[in-house]
Amino acid sequence: MRWSCEGGLFEKGTLHHSMKAWLCSHCPRSFWLHQLACGLAWAMDEVGEKGDVREGQSGKDHDDPSEKMWSLYVAEAAKFDKALVESWKGDMEGILIFAGLFSASVTAFIVEGYKKLSADSGDMTVAILAQISSQLVAISNGTNLNIVSPYPPNVPFRPKTSVVGVNILWFLSLALGLVCAISATMVQQWARNYLQLVERHPAPRKRARIRAFLYEGIEKFRMTAVVEAIPTLLHVSLFFFMIGLVIFLFPINLCVSLIMLVVLTAVISLYATVTFLPMRHKNCPYQTPLSSTCWNVMQNFSPLRFANYNYHWDFHIRVSMAEARALAAMEPSLKRSQRDVTALDWMLESATDYSEMEQFFNAVPAFYRNSGRNAGNVLGALGSSLFNRSGPFLQECLLIHSPSRRRQAVACMTALQAVAPKLPEIPMSNFTLLWAKTLEALRKDSDATIATLAICTTATLASRFLFHIAEYLPSKSKAFDNDTADEQLLMKTSEQLPVDELVASMTVNEYFHLPSDASKPSADVMRDALRVLTHEDVMDASGRYLKRCRSSISPTIKVVIQTNPNPYDFEAEWLTRSRDWMNRSIIREGEIAVQHLRNLNQHSDDWSTHRAVWALSRMLRCLRTKKMREEFWNCGRLMIVNTLISQLVQCQHHTHEHSAFILETLRHLIGSGVSPNDADLETQTKFIQLVTDASSPSTSMTRLAFPVVEMLLKVFDEFNHPTSVALAINALEGNQFLLQNKFPLVERLNTKLSQEGETDTPHDRANTVENSPGSSVADVTVNV
């Protein structure tokens, strides 16, 4: 605003100028009326300007992009200024209280100490009385008097050096204490004035510029350094007093003075340690006002600067102590990951209320999606903790019937789906039967959203459980030619024996010599089985095979607890059979059986021989169902997908939200490159049939959404088995829903089938061997 001075005071030539002109024209010779007119015009213009500003915030100025930007600056600056001023005020209040008490204590000692700076008339009186007394004694004894004045005339009084030093230290201490008190009072006033000057203007642009102008002055005149210097002066004042106290006590009592000297030395040593400790350990909570000063001095020397280890280089940069702490906290390291785990665990344990737990669960998916910024062990540890807390939370969702029930259940299960791919291991020790029943109850819930998400969550957890079991299985790439030859010979042997009948001939009760009603094989079957199993080549192959099986067992393999063998509701029997070839008890029984049959003679009892045949039959049956890592992982995932589809078609899921849940689960299961050819023909056929049913309209089943069916059909393109390819073609050609969407899979599958022809694939032969019935052992011959 531009002001012009026409009559001696201010005049504003904008709003309400006519009022001022009218007053001046009616009273042209009245100086005071002229000034009153100027003042009224100025005041009314100010009120009008503020009113325009306030209206502008809700009117046209609110839509101004620059005003929005300045509003953001004002909001952020307000939080910063509030924290800064509050810290200043808190420090100054403590300094005022301590300075007042400390100054009163120092004053009491000064009252006693300053007297020794001048001659004490009491001491002179005592000396004169002592001289008179000695003179009277000499007169009474008749001796000569040698009068010596205790204080020679015209000799000025000189206090002791120690007395002067004590008083200097104490008066300095008192002066510094009073300076700190008045400085603390002034800092409080400066802080209030700063906030008042900033907050008195409502317009964001004007307020922002005034704040920037004032804060520039704070930095220019180093007000922060002044505020930090006040506690330093108070500490120096305290040390001056303690040093003076030790010197004061030396002439009085040596023992007391030595004790105080020891205490003073300990305090100074501790103070120095606390001063330099945060320079070495950036997370140390202790520091003194001198710590920042010493840190800044050290930054002047390049070798002593803060070392930043980013990008595999050691950079010595010059930063403040606060910035160094922030850089040290964000530096990637194993300790930072451990701190992250501790912080997140603490936050999860602190969330005692279910609403707080819900907020935590809602934040988990985004945290795991941005997993590139988080270490793997952080995600794994958080996943294990969340898995343990999810059980009671979901059980509570089953019991309550509040409007928030669905929201809480969805938040919890969505978080479980997010953490499952990062779990280091499924905490099976904590997975009780109650946990499994909770998931089962949620899958059957009347709420379609909860039921659909529970089915998807179960499938995701089952996939992770399967993955960790597959980690302990050896890979196909580790197999050697000798291993393949031994296994082929043993497979031919299992084809020639009624393995299932021999395994069923001995139960656990009979194994421990307890009564049993198991059917015994005939004498001819046992005799022919012994003849085949005791063949030298079979014995050698069995011994080498069992030795390799034992060497394949990982010493840290996890064993699924037997109280709940089917925790995730999919093919538990297959899960057990496919890895029984690594079962320690089966391997041990097989080794004992091989040793027994090698030394078989006429003195061997029937029970031991029967037990040996039973043990080797178990070994051969495990060989039939043996799965390596790749086969186990891919076949298991396809089984989980089958279970997922069969449960989804029985659940009502019509909304877009339900389809999103299902799509996310399928991306996790088959989006990472599932190979259906590792599964047996039965599982492949079941998958094709389920996809066909799920994509066909039916009154008893719910058809899956088109994006879900499209993702499932991608697996069809991976089939290589002629039977599976033919079934997939039939499923596509006979389904009007799929034909309307013009899937190009039919042509590719027909081309694949024509290339295969009628030639049996190795997979087909393997399935034929596995599914073929046992031949009559009467015609058994072993060819090597």
The pLDDT-based confidence of 438 (bands split at 50, 70, 90) is confident
| Planar angle of CA 176, 180, 184, nearest 5 degrees | 170
Whats the size of the chain, residue-wise? 784
Is residue 87 domain-resident? no
pLDDT at 34 over 70: no
- More reliable by pLDDT, 680 or 574: 680
Q: For position 13, what pLDDT does the model report?
A: 44
pLDDT (tens digit per residue) in 145-167? 665 555 555 556 677 888 899 99
Residues of the domain holding 348: 343-470
Residue in the block written with tokens 């701190």: 339
**Are residues 682 and 730 located together in one domain of the fold?**
yes
How many domains does the structure of the chain reveal? 4
Q: For position 781, what pLDDT does the model report?
A: 33
Alpha helices in 29-160 (DSSP H): 31-58, 65-113, 121-141
pLDDT at 720 over 90: no
Handedness of CA 227, 232, 237, 241 (dihedral sign): positive
Is residue 227 domain-resident? no
pLDDT (tens digit per residue) in 450-463? 888 888 888 888 88
- More reliable by pLDDT, 185 or 511: 185
**Are residues 516 and 573 located together in one domain of the fold?**
yes
Gap between the Cα atoms of 662 and 782, Å rounded: 52
The pLDDT-based confidence of 478 (bands split at 50, 70, 90) is low
The pLDDT-based confidence of 328 (bands split at 50, 70, 90) is confident
pLDDT (tens digit per residue) in 116-138? 887 666 666 776 777 777 777 77
**Are residues 495 and 623 located together in one domain of the fold?**
yes
Question: What are the DSSP E strand ranges found in 444-570?
Answer: none
pLDDT at 21 over 90: no
pLDDT (tens digit per residue) in 679-703? 778 888 888 888 888 777 665 666 7
pLDDT at 553 over 70: yes
Point out the domain boundary residue: 413, 442, 470: 470
pLDDT at 758 over 50: no
Highest mean pLDDT out of 231-245, 352-366, 493-507, 597-611? 231-245
Element (H, E) at 306: strand 306-308
How many C-beta atoms surround the C-beta of residue 154 within 10 A? 4
Q: What value does the mean pLDDT of the chain take?
A: 75
Output DSSP code: residue 504: T
**Are residues 583 and 458 located together in one domain of the fold?**
no
**Are residues 574 and 668 located together in one domain of the fold?**
no
Out of 30-39, 107-116, 398-407, 748-757, pick the least confident: 30-39
Taking phi over 0 as left and psi of -120 to 50 as alpha, with beta for the rest, 108 belongs to alpha
Point out the domain boundary residue: 17, 40, 61: 61
CA distances to 45, 202, 358 from 205, in Å: 19, 9, 40
**Are residues 563 and 537 located together in one domain of the fold?**
yes
Query: Roughly what angle, to the nearest 10 degrees, separates helices 161-199 and 65-113?
Result: 160
Handedness of CA 391, 395, 396, 398 (dihedral sign): positive
Taking phi over 0 as left and psi of -120 to 50 as alpha, with beta for the rest, 603 belongs to alpha
**Are residues 501 and 623 located together in one domain of the fold?**
yes
How many C-beta atoms surround the C-beta of residue 82 within 10 A? 11
**Are residues 604 and 577 located together in one domain of the fold?**
yes
Average pLDDT over residues 707-711: 78
pLDDT at 529 over 90: no
Out of 112-116, 376-380, 417-421, 518-522, pick the least confident: 518-522
**Are residues 499 and 464 located together in one domain of the fold?**
no
Is residue 212 domain-resident? no
Q: For position 70, what pLDDT does the model report?
A: 86
How many CA atoms within 13 Å lie on the side-chain side of 750?
Answer: 8
How many CA atoms within 13 Å lie on the side-chain side of 304?
Answer: 13
**Are residues 489 and 618 located together in one domain of the fold?**
yes
Q: For position 265, what pLDDT does the model report?
A: 92
The pLDDT-based confidence of 642 (bands split at 50, 70, 90) is confident
**Are residues 686 and 756 located together in one domain of the fold?**
yes
Q: For position 756, what pLDDT does the model report?
A: 55
Point out the domain boundary residue: 438, 470, 502: 470
Is residue 620 domain-resident? yes
Is residue 508 domain-resident? yes
Q: For position 123, what pLDDT does the model report?
A: 62
Q: For position 702, what pLDDT does the model report?
A: 66
**Are residues 484 and 623 located together in one domain of the fold?**
yes
Is residue 678 domain-resident? yes
- More reliable by pLDDT, 720 or 49: 720
Gap between the Cα atoms of 3 and 42, Å rounded: 9
pLDDT at 93 over 50: yes
Both structure tokens of 459: 């499938």
Is residue 552 domain-resident? yes
Out of 461-465, 530-534, 760-764, pick the least confident: 760-764
Is residue 44 domain-resident? yes
**Of 16, 18, 23, 22, residue with least CA distance to 41:** 16
Output DSSP code: residue 520: P
- More reliable by pLDDT, 617 or 471: 617
- More reliable by pLDDT, 324 or 41: 324
Helix, strand, coil percentages (3-state) for the chain, rounded to 5, are: 75, 0, 25
